[in-house]
Amino acid sequence: MEKFISVTSIATPFPRVNVDTDIIIPAKHLKSIKRTGFGEHAFETIRYEADGKLIPDNVFDGERYKGAKILIAGDNFGCGSSREHAPWAIAELGYRCIIAPSFADIFAGNCVKNGILTVALKQEEVDALVLAAEAGHEIHVNLNDQAVTCQNAKYEFDFNPAHKEMLLNGLDEIGQTLQSGTAIKSYEDKQKLMTPWLFRG
Amino acid sequence: MPRTMYDKIWDHHVVEDRGNGVVLLYIDRHLVHEVTSPQAFDGLRASGRPVRRVDSIIAVPDHNVPTKDRNLPNPDPMSTAQLEALEANAREFGLDYIDMNDDRQGIVHVVGPEQGFTQPGVTLVCGDSHTSTHGAFGALAFGIGTSEVEHVLATQTLELKKSKNMRVTVTGELPLGCSAKDVALAIIGAIGTGGGTAHVIEYAGPVIEALSMEGRMTLCNMSIEAGARAGLVAPDEKTFEYLKGRPYAPKGGQWEAAVNYWKALKSDEGAHFDKEITIDGSQIVPLVTWGTSPEDVVPVTANVPGPDDYTDPAKKEAVEKALDYMGYAAGTPMTGFKVDRVFIGSCTNSRIEDMREAASVIKGRKVADHIIEAMVVPGSGLVKLQAEEEGLDKVFTDAGFEWRDPGCSMCLAMNPDKAGPGEHVASTSNRNFVGRQGPGARTHLVSPAMAAAAAIAGHFVDVRNF
Ligand code: SF4
């Protein structure tokens, strides 16, 4: 997994509330059996006309926010389905960090697995960052310090400590868990006696 | 200390405490479908890891299967590739696989309970957010992403932080003409799509106790639309009755032991809930969504709201956008609102009871002339067979509905089942997001009875006096 320590970049302001996973990547594009190729369809209804023409100057493709690695989003970002295609698509657009007042649980979990940091800040702090992003200011996000800084402002954020360690070290989570193999085995042995109907053979 | 049902199931499954509220949680059951699993199996292959417990898995295709004439070749090569990948992966890793042409095939969230695979007290996951459905049995069931699917396949665990406890109590008695879908929509309308974020919701109270297992599944299904990680209903005699004798249910002497274990799961008297909501069930009426979020819900007898009905500027803007997308003005009455297409199906409302509810409304009537298409998509082959045995298919086809093969179908429009741009769809599914049922399609979430009535009338009607 890709590490995340810090990022400094201009940011794309996209503060719409309740942006769901069907907006991030519509279901009709979920047929691929690969992990890549979703970026071109990301935020399709915001970036393209119904006839497939790119909408000039949309926030994702216009010159203004080109190269932004940070997305400033609205409340309840990523609600809806569990599709990991959503963070895959966002990563392909070049984003490493999303800042919003809140995130849907499954979406936030999926981001971690893909080296994307989700930062939840207070609504007024996000509002301030939207203005800063629109003004073209750089924003600095540091996971070690759990802080976002922009010009003179500094906002601290909470983060799941297990996820922090994973992101900072770019850990292979499955490999890590397999180190607990003995504990898993002994849990199973105990359960075979307690709830034998859940085991077959 | 008194514990909630969620606390008990959680505690029982802790393999290792990682500190700071994070644990390694054991996963008992895993449902696998074609859309969110191919990349996970690729990951296993790439790292040479086996599946840890094949007996904990059922694999079944649902999202992408054709619902019309499965004997014809699938015209979509990408869809075919995805369906073939599931079958190949299931065979390679030795999983229980239910083929597209098997009577047991259907939507994962219909198949799991039907097979007795879903049981009280288990942890159950699936790469699909509506896994919350299985909470109807008192199972801790939640959706996961593809990386987590791979993690569970390889380790039978997930590293998780516990959610908070929330209880939604629905008091009184549900009025005639209302069903579990209206309860779900009423709750989401009351608490909003973020109302359950970071919580697991336990549903309680007389209305919930009175619901059938099918109704409880409908309700728990939409927990995710309320933002919750999972929904739970305490298992009771109805739960045990439903499970008894099903293929994966405990057999012989184990049945008694299991029931005793299940009975001990309910929340203790005085257990702490971080959030409590009470809703008067006797005040619930048939509901319809007017906008592009499941919280955009009004009684069918009401008018579409407008930006002026809200004070929050973000909400005002969202309402304006929603009205624009849905193509009507604030203040339009919901009854009388024209419907172009009708979809009865999805993991929310495609069980036998839903089929009966819809059929009872349309019996002897005809679908309105201007309706482009009205379709019924049973949740599984077994639901389909049962309905046919009861003659429900005849009721539907005589009225002018299409009677399809089981799958997700127009719930998410991954296959040819979709609505055209600008069309208004009366749908029994769970999401009315922009473009969910096809680019530009306008979805209205309703109960099976309300969808059936809309098909006959050609517009939304109050099913209570229909
Ligand atoms: S029916 Fe709809 S909501 Fe349910 S699993 Fe299928 S796509 Fe998801």
- The interface pTM score, or ipTM, of the predicted complex is 0.94
B422 touches chain A (CB under 8 A): no
User: Could B315 and A17 be called an inter-chain contact, meaning their C-beta atoms sit closer than 8 Å?
Assistant: yes
User: Could B147 and A178 be called an inter-chain contact, meaning their C-beta atoms sit closer than 8 Å?
Assistant: no
Residue B21 banded pLDDT, cuts 50, 70, 90: confident
For residue A162, pLDDT over 90 is answered with: no
B378 vs B71, residue with greater confidence: B378
Is residue B188 in contact with ligand 1, taking CB distance under 6 Å?
Answer: no
Determine the average pLDDT of the residues in B38-65.
96
Determine the average pLDDT of the residues in A167-188.
94
Q: Max CA-CA distance within chain B?
A: 63
CA B459 to CA B450: how far, in whole Å?
Answer: 10
Determine the average pLDDT of the residues in A116-132.
98
Nearest CA distance, A84 vs chain B (angstrom): 5
What pLDDT shows up at residue A169? 93
Question: B132, B221, B347, B404: which to mutate for ligand 1, most atoms within 8 A of CB?
Answer: B347
Ligand 1 atom closest to Cα of B379?
Answer: 1
Ligand 1 atom closest to Cα of B133?
Answer: 4
A interface test, pick of B434, B437, B443 with most A CB neighbours within 10 Å? B434
Nearest CA distance, B407 vs chain A (angstrom): 15
For residue A78, pLDDT over 90 is answered with: yes
User: Could B47 and A174 be called an inter-chain contact, meaning their C-beta atoms sit closer than 8 Å?
Assistant: yes
The closest CB to that of A200, out of B55, B229, B315, belongs to: B55
Angle of helix B77-93 relative to helix B38-47, nearest 10 degrees? 50
What pLDDT shows up at residue B122? 98
| Interface subset of A 72-131, CB within 8 angstroms of B | 74-76, 79-84, 87, 102, 104-106, 109-110, 113-114
Three-class HEC string of chain A: CCCCCEEEECEEEECCCCCEHHHHCCHHHCCCCCCCCCHHHCCHHHHECCCCCECCCCCCCCCCCCCCCEEEECCCECECCCCCHHHHHHHHCCCCEEEECCECHHHHHHHHHCCCEEEECCHHHHHHHHHHHHCCCCEEEECCCCEEEECCEEEECCCCHHHHHHHHHCCCHHHHHHCCHHHHHHHHHHHHHHCHHHCCC
For residue A201, pLDDT over 80 is answered with: no
CA B87 to CA B270: how far, in whole Å?
Answer: 48
Determine the average pLDDT of the residues in B381-395.
98
Which of A161-170, B58-67, B186-195, B373-382 has the least mean pLDDT?
A161-170
For residue B267, the SS3 value is coil
For residue A152, pLDDT over 80 is answered with: yes
CA B168 to CA B179: how far, in whole Å?
Answer: 17
Cα within 13 Å of Cα(B303), Cβ side: 9
The closest CB to that of A17, out of B156, B227, B314, belongs to: B314
Which of B1-10, B14-23, B285-294 has the least mean pLDDT?
B14-23
Give the list of residues 6+ apart from residue B32 with CB closer than 8 angstroms, or none.
Answer: B57, B58, B59, B60, B86, B90, B95, B126, B127, B149
CB B123 within 8 A of CB B113: no
Residue A71 banded pLDDT, cuts 50, 70, 90: very high
What pLDDT shows up at residue B336? 79
Task: Share the mean pLDDT of chain B.
Answer: 96
User: Could B22 and A201 be called an inter-chain contact, meaning their C-beta atoms sit closer than 8 Å?
Assistant: no
| pLDDT digit string, tens, across residues B335-358 | 978 999 999 999 999 999 999 999
CA B400 to CA B371: how far, in whole Å?
Answer: 10
What pLDDT shows up at residue B276? 98
Ligand 1 atom closest to Cα of B412?
Answer: 7
Separation of CA A179 from chain center: 27
| pLDDT digit string, tens, across residues B297-337 | 999 999 999 999 999 888 898 999 999 999 999 999 999 78
CA B291 to CA A123: how far, in whole Å?
Answer: 24
Which amino acid, residue A75?
Answer: D
How many A from CA of B346 to the centre of ligand 1? 6
- Report DSSP letters for B129-151, one per residue: GGGGGGGGGT-EEEE--HHHHHH
What pLDDT shows up at residue A168? 95
CA B367 to CA A172: how far, in whole Å?
Answer: 55
CA B42 to CA B48: how far, in whole Å?
Answer: 10
| Structure tokens that stand for B441 in this block | 């399609």
Convert B95-110 to b/e letters by CB count within 10 Å (16 or more is b): bbbbebeeebbbbbbb
User: Could A31 and B434 be called an inter-chain contact, meaning their C-beta atoms sit closer than 8 Å?
Assistant: no
| pLDDT digit string, tens, across residues A43-64 | 999 999 988 999 999 999 999 9
| Residue B154 to residues A112, A128, B61, B150, B436, Cα–Cα distance (Å) | 19, 43, 21, 6, 32
**Phi, psi for B233 (deg, rounded to 5):** -130, 135
User: Could A102 and B82 be called an inter-chain contact, meaning their C-beta atoms sit closer than 8 Å?
Assistant: no
CA B272 to CA B118: how far, in whole Å?
Answer: 26
Which of A145-149, B190-194, B448-452 has the least mean pLDDT?
B190-194
| pLDDT digit string, tens, across residues B152-190 | 999 999 999 999 999 999 999 999 999 999 999 999 999
Is residue B63 in contact with ligand 1, taking CB distance under 6 Å?
Answer: yes
For residue B71, pLDDT over 90 is answered with: no
Chain A residues with CB under 8 Å of B85 CB are 33
Question: B377, B412, B417, B430: which to mutate for ligand 1, most atoms within 8 A of CB?
Answer: B412
A52 touches chain B (CB under 8 A): no
Sheet holding A6-9, edge to edge: A6-9, A139-142, A147-150, A153-156
User: Could B81 and A161 be called an inter-chain contact, meaning their C-beta atoms sit closer than 8 Å?
Assistant: no
- pTM of the model as a whole: 0.95
Convert A8-21 to b/e letters by CB count within 10 Å (16 or more is b): ebbbbbbbbbbbbb
User: Could A197 and B251 be called an inter-chain contact, meaning their C-beta atoms sit closer than 8 Å?
Assistant: yes
Determine the average pLDDT of the residues in B30-41.
97
For residue B359, pLDDT over 90 is answered with: yes
CB B337 within 8 A of CB B424: yes
For residue B75, pLDDT over 90 is answered with: no
For residue A39, pLDDT over 90 is answered with: yes
What pLDDT shows up at residue B326? 96
What pLDDT shows up at residue B167? 98
How many A from CA of B286 to the centre of ligand 1? 23
Nearest CA distance, A174 vs chain B (angstrom): 6
Cα within 13 Å of Cα(A201), Cβ side: 4
